[in-house]
A and B are shown apart, each in its own frame.
Chain A
Amino acid sequence: DTAVSQTPKYLVTQMGNDKSIKCEQNLGHDTMYWYKQDSKKFLKIMFSYNNKELIINETVPNRFSPKSPDKAHLNLHINSLELGDSAVYFCASSQEGAGPGVNEQFFGPGTRLTVL
């Protein structure tokens, strides 16, 4: 029944490691996003994908590489993790377009990444 799911929920790792976060949505939406929420709760968009195509890349370092194998999945791979990458990462999805009900973003439960 979960609309947007993410795994894992918690990720603790050492600096320099590579890690991945997976996201899946079962809402039939055509657009998916990755957000980073820092310790001050600020929510910043990282990437948006529409129909598996990258639309927005908000000047995110190259160490972050999203991949969308199909419209229902958007994964995030992070290379050479740094201390500053510690945050909560949220996946979200929406149906873009005009009309009622579109644009509402459905968020996953988040992945808390801690880099030691």
Chain B
Amino acid sequence: QQQVKQSPQSLIVQKGGIPIINCAYENTAFDYFPWYQQFPGKGPALLIAIRPDVSEKKEGRFTISFNKSAKQFSLHIMDSQPGDSATYFCAASSTGGFKTIFGAGTRLFVKA
């Protein structure tokens, strides 16, 4: 029940393409769903996050779509660039839980 399942494991797109990464969760107590971006040799950094009271959130070229009934959420990267090549983690946590569960990560490569 604590798992967050992320797919695909890896993704290769052309520059300008729209990679989509999907995540699913079981625990309905989760109320915060962030996406983290990690470059090689660095720690993960928050990219964008959503709470379950909205179905979509957009920040620049990054959009989270959230489907509460299906317990799924996804990250879309519009007009992807080679600089977006990184590992992306979805995650979930509940307020006061002091614990964030991370998906397994998706390695994205954007070809120039």
Contacts and interface: CB of A to CB of B under 8 A. Distances in A.
B89 A43 contact: yes
Nearest to B105: A41
Given A48-B98, A56-B99, A103 B34 contact: yes
Contacts of B25: none
A68 to B, nearest CB: 13
A104 B95 contact: no
Contacts of A45: 99-102
A41 B34 contact: no
Nearest to B49: A104
Contacts of B42: 109-110
Given A43-B89, A107-B43, A109-B42, A56 B98 contact: yes
Interface string B77-111: 00000000001010001011011111011010000
B19 interface: no
Nearest to B102: A43
Which interface class (under 10, 10 to 19, 20 to 34, 35 or more) fits A? 20 to 34
B46 A105 contact: yes
A46 to B, nearest CB: 11
Interface of B: 32, 34, 36, 38, 41-46, 49, 87, 89, 93, 95-96, 98-102, 104-105, 107
The 4 closest A-B pairs by CB, nearest first: A107-B43, A55-B98, A43-B102, A48-B98
21 contacts: A33-B100, A41-B107, A42-B104, A42-B105, A43-B89, A43-B102, A44-B102, A45-B99, A45-B102, A48-B98, A90-B43, A90-B44, A92-B43, A96-B96, A97-B96, A103-B49, A103-B100, A106-B45, A106-B46, A109-B43, A110-B41
